[in-house]
Chain A
Amino acid sequence: MSDKLNTEQLIRTRLDGAELTPSPQSWSAIQQKLRWPQFLRFNPGRFNIYYAGALLLATAGLVLLLTGERDRSEPTIPEEKTNTLSSIESSAEDIAGELVDKSKSTENATTNSGMHPETPTTPSQNKAEPVNERATEGLNTGQGEEDSESSQKK
């Protein structure tokens, strides 16, 4: 009976040196789990976060350097000057537009009153016209009343 084993001995002798084959997916799962922690650690033989950071810094530096050189080679007009130029341009356009409108209105006025279209007119004349008409109308009416009164007295 000396070859008989108790429960612990049985388990120990049968299972201690036992081997089981892992599934084929096991290795790829390990590699997948390793990817991120390995990327976060510095290892001279592997691309990691430190190399990525250095690459990013180098790229940013290069971009800054190139844009700086371009700025130096192309003279630029200061912003204030460009603003004043554009404002001058826009005001000149406005004045030109106003002049065109006024010339059109004077043309209409001369054709209505029978005046020669070629006779030059000033803006003050154009504006004063309707006022004068009204004033003369009023005067005319006043004169008419006075005339009627004087005729009655007579």
Chain B
Amino acid sequence: MNGEKDILAGCIKGKQSAQWELYNRYSRLLLAICNRYAKSMDEAEDILQEGFVKIFLNIKEFKGDGPLLAWMRRIMINTAITHYHKMKKHRYHDDLEEVSESKFQDKGWGEAEFTEEELFNVIHQMPDGYRQVFNLYALEGYKHREIAEILKIDENTSKSQYSRARRWLQERLIKLKEERTHRDE
């Protein structure tokens, strides 16, 4: 069972071997997506598991009009957003973190300046609201109107959260770079 069509057909029949094939093929890529929306790796794995359960239960609904990965990716993001809404009550105070409003200048970074692990760690530390808006706008390409609808917030809130998220990220990356240079010295 190598072809995606065979795997898909097997998954529709509920065959465990086909489900395993699909999981084995895409779980690493999808976990990295989940990890961008999560506060920790454990939370990312919870989202991944929930997402795969939805994929296997609703695989009949995949029409095949686009790539399977794009469909699965959308399910993972929706699951991550649902997870965020569930956890929102407990983490309300996180969104109130102050970010300096002045002297923001977009800094240029070298592509290999930070490792993937470092970038994931910085994203994990981000306030939840910033993280969701940043991911949806900068990485998924949603518009602020759509983000407002998805996250059940005002469109202007989405815009302000996004600009704050950018500042927050830049400040953290500068700090990270400074810490690294101090360590090297």
Contact = CB atoms under 8 A, between A and B. Distances in A.
A31 interface: yes
B87 interface: no
A10 B16 contact: no
Given A18-B116, A31-B16, A33-B49, A10 B31 contact: no
A134 interface: no
Interface residues on A, range: 35 or more
B83 interface: no
A110 B50 CA distance: 100
A5 interface: yes
B153 interface: no
Interface residues on B, range: 35 or more
Q: Which of A21, A23, A31 has the most chain B CB atoms inside 10 A of its CB?
A: A31
Nearest to A45: B13
A27 to B, nearest CB: 6
B57 interface: yes
Contacts of B57: 34, 37-38, 41
A30 B48 CA distance: 9
B14 A20 contact: no
A18 B116 CA distance: 8
A16 B108 contact: no
B28 A19 contact: yes
Contacts of A14: 111, 114, 116, 119
A10 B114 contact: yes
Contact of A45 (B14, B27, B50, B111): B14
Interface in A21-49: 21-23, 26-27, 29-31, 33-34, 37-38, 41, 43-46
A149 B157 CA distance: 137
A43 B13 contact: yes
B75 to A, nearest CB: 13
A4 B108 contact: yes
B136 to A, nearest CB: 12
B113 A10 contact: yes
Contacts of B114: 10, 14
Contacts of B119: 10-11, 14-15
Contacts of A17: 29
A143 to B, nearest CB: 114
Nearest to B141: A12
A63 to B, nearest CB: 31
A31 B20 CA distance: 10
A8 interface: yes
B166 A22 contact: no
A4 B105 CA distance: 14
Interface of A: 1, 3-8, 10-23, 26-27, 29-31, 33-34, 37-38, 41, 43-46
Interface of B: 13-16, 19-20, 23, 27-29, 31-32, 35-36, 41, 44-45, 48-50, 52-53, 56-57, 106-111, 113-114, 116, 119-120, 123, 134, 138-139, 166, 169-170, 173
* Top 9 A-B residue pairs of the complex, sorted by shortest distance between their CB atoms: A4-B108, A19-B28, A18-B32, A8-B138, A20-B31, A45-B13, A43-B14, A10-B109, A20-B32
